[in-house]
Amino acid sequence: MQEHIQLTQKEINRELLRGIFVWPKWWFASVSFLILVFLVGAGAFGYMINKGVGVTGLNRPVFWGVYMVNFVFWIGISHAGIMISAILRLTQAEWRRPITRAAEVLTVFSLMGAMFAAALVHTGRPWRAYWVFPYDFSRGVWMNVRSPLIWDPSAVNTYLIASSLFVFVALLPDLAIVRDRSRGWVRVMYSFMCLGWRGTPRQWKLQAVAGILLSALVLPVFVSVHSIVSWDFAVQIGTEGWHSTIFAPYFIIGAIHSGVSAVVTVMVLMVWLWKWDNYLRPDHFDAIGRLLIVVATTWFFFFFLEWVFALYTLEGPEIALRELQIFDWPMSGLFGLFLATAFFIPVPLWLFKRVRRNLLLMFLTTLLVNVGMWLERFLIIVPALLRKSPMIFDWGTYRPSIIEIFMVTAVFAWVTLGMLIFSKVFPLLPLFDIKESMVGRDEIKIGRRTVPASIRE
């Protein structure tokens, strides 16, 4: 990192704890607005429970609409944390340090949002959500383990637990710092949460080992979650466009594309809102921009394969579906928008270093990616159901109702709200990690050039 700024530990504490101890006006305004949006969504949810799912646009044959799209989208975003934290930690990428916490927290709130979108809303009868658990031994009722809809909650819950642990373990040293700077009941609360952290060599060693172990263990969970979400669709043989072997890797790489883009969006917001530009330097955006080029290109390759093999089948219904996606309005418009925003606008722009180092452009392009990735899920799910299939006597169109739009918006509000509230209670930038990088950082003179260096074991 050529643009490194060396700061003292006191300066780091002061600047990074500002998020907790200072209450800016924009924070109250944003949180109030988001709570309002969330409450509107909750009201819409209550209304749907009271009146039934008929108040949505869902009907024969489109039973899976924007709720399902939302579920897949937020599961996708949740892949950011592990991609950034676990993989970059295992590969010892130095530039990961200021980004990891925000990415991990985004994972946790996205997963909660996905569970809200799927378990509580999408099922239509949330009071029966416990049916996915083995709840009644005496009656001999057992959930159907052959159903992907049972695999989903198992995978998502495991991922949520693992991600929360991941965040918590990495938080311990920082919680102790907050504890030492607070008083009264707040101090008691942080004392309780930091589990008696004193910073002894043994505690540091255990914390480091736990981080590496969790990184390695959470990776298979991370892969399994979106694979299983993709199998909700791919194991079916009755719906054109879904039964494809490529779905698991295609969903995973799409999730990483979407998730890492979301992390960049959050990074820019952290610089703009908390003025943490001493920590999130243009180099960080440059590095993550280069990563995004690789991820996006790989995603596009899988997208290409998915399309090639859809046409390769030479099956009438499959080709008719593809024609619906790219030639029939409004799907054709959405398809064009999806391709432009998910790949053709951002990736060529990211090829330029000046763009990768420009916060505003990175903010806009990564937002575009997520518009595109949301549309991608919509275009996978809805057109496939719209078409008339052999065993269906109804076909028609689908238009999300205002109730669905409120609830989808509420999930967006929930994730943003969660991030904002988290940032008031916990440090959003990992203090100990940044201090460690400051201590382990050095420079080497080679001729007239100075090359950044770091201590290696």
Partner 1 sequence: MQQKPSLMTNGASHAEHALATPASITSDLLEKHATPASAFRWVALLCTVLVVLGVVGVVLRMSDGVSDKTVWGYYAALFVFILSTAQAAPMVAIATRLAKGHWRRPISRIAEMFTAVGVLNLLLFIPLLWVLPSLEDGRRSLWFFGNRDIPGYGYAPHLWATLALLFLVIGGIAMLWVSCLPDLAAIRDHSTGRRQRIARRMARGWQGTTRQWEMLDRRVGILGAYYFMMLVFVHFLISVDFAIALVPGWIDALFPATQAFTSLQGGAATVLLTMIVLRKAGYREYIELDQFWSLGKLLMAMSLLWFWFWFSSFNILWYGRKPNEQAVLDLFITGPYFWMFITTFMLNFVVPFFLMIWNPIRKSIWGPTLVASGVLIGTLLDRVRIYVAAFSIPGEDAAAHLLEQSPETVTPELADILIWAGGLGGVVLVFMLVARLVPVISIWEQTELLLYKVHKKFHRTEVLVLGKPE
Residue ranges binding partner 1 (CB under 8 A): 2, 91, 94, 220, 223, 227, 231, 234-237, 243-249, 301-302, 305-306, 308-314, 442-444, 446, 451-457
Q: Are 211 and 170 in contact (CB under 8 A)?
A: yes
Helix (H) or strand (E) holding 202: helix 201-234
Residue (88 or 114) nearer to partner 1, CB: 88
- The Cα–Cα gap between 139 and 123 comes to 23
Residue (394 or 457) nearer to partner 1, CB: 457
| CA–CA–CA angle 286, 289, 290 (5° rounding) | 90
Helix (H, G, I), strand (E, B) or coil at 62: strand
Compute the least distance from the CB of residue 20 to partner 1, in Å: 31
Compute the least distance from the CB of residue 221 to partner 1, in Å: 12
Compute the least distance from the CB of residue 223 to partner 1, in Å: 6
Compute the least distance from the CB of residue 161 to partner 1, in Å: 21
Cis peptide upstream of residue 61 (ω within 30 degrees of 0): yes
Considering only CA atoms, which of 235, 262, 261 is closest in space to residue 248? 235
Residue (312 or 395) nearer to partner 1, CB: 312
Residue (186 or 305) nearer to partner 1, CB: 305
Residue (243 or 424) nearer to partner 1, CB: 243
Compute the least distance from the CB of residue 112 to partner 1, in Å: 26
Would you say how long the chain is, in residues? Answer: 457
Compute the least distance from the CB of residue 182 to partner 1, in Å: 31
The DSSP letter of residue 278 is: T
Residue (397 or 454) nearer to partner 1, CB: 454
Compute the least distance from the CB of residue 227 to partner 1, in Å: 7
Residue (233 or 374) nearer to partner 1, CB: 233
Task: Say which residue the tokens 């054709």 belong to.
Answer: 332
- The Cα–Cα gap between 287 and 177 comes to 30
Q: Is 302 exposed, middle or buried (0-12, 13-18, 19+ CB in 10 A)?
A: middle
**From start to end of 22-123, where are the E strands?**
none
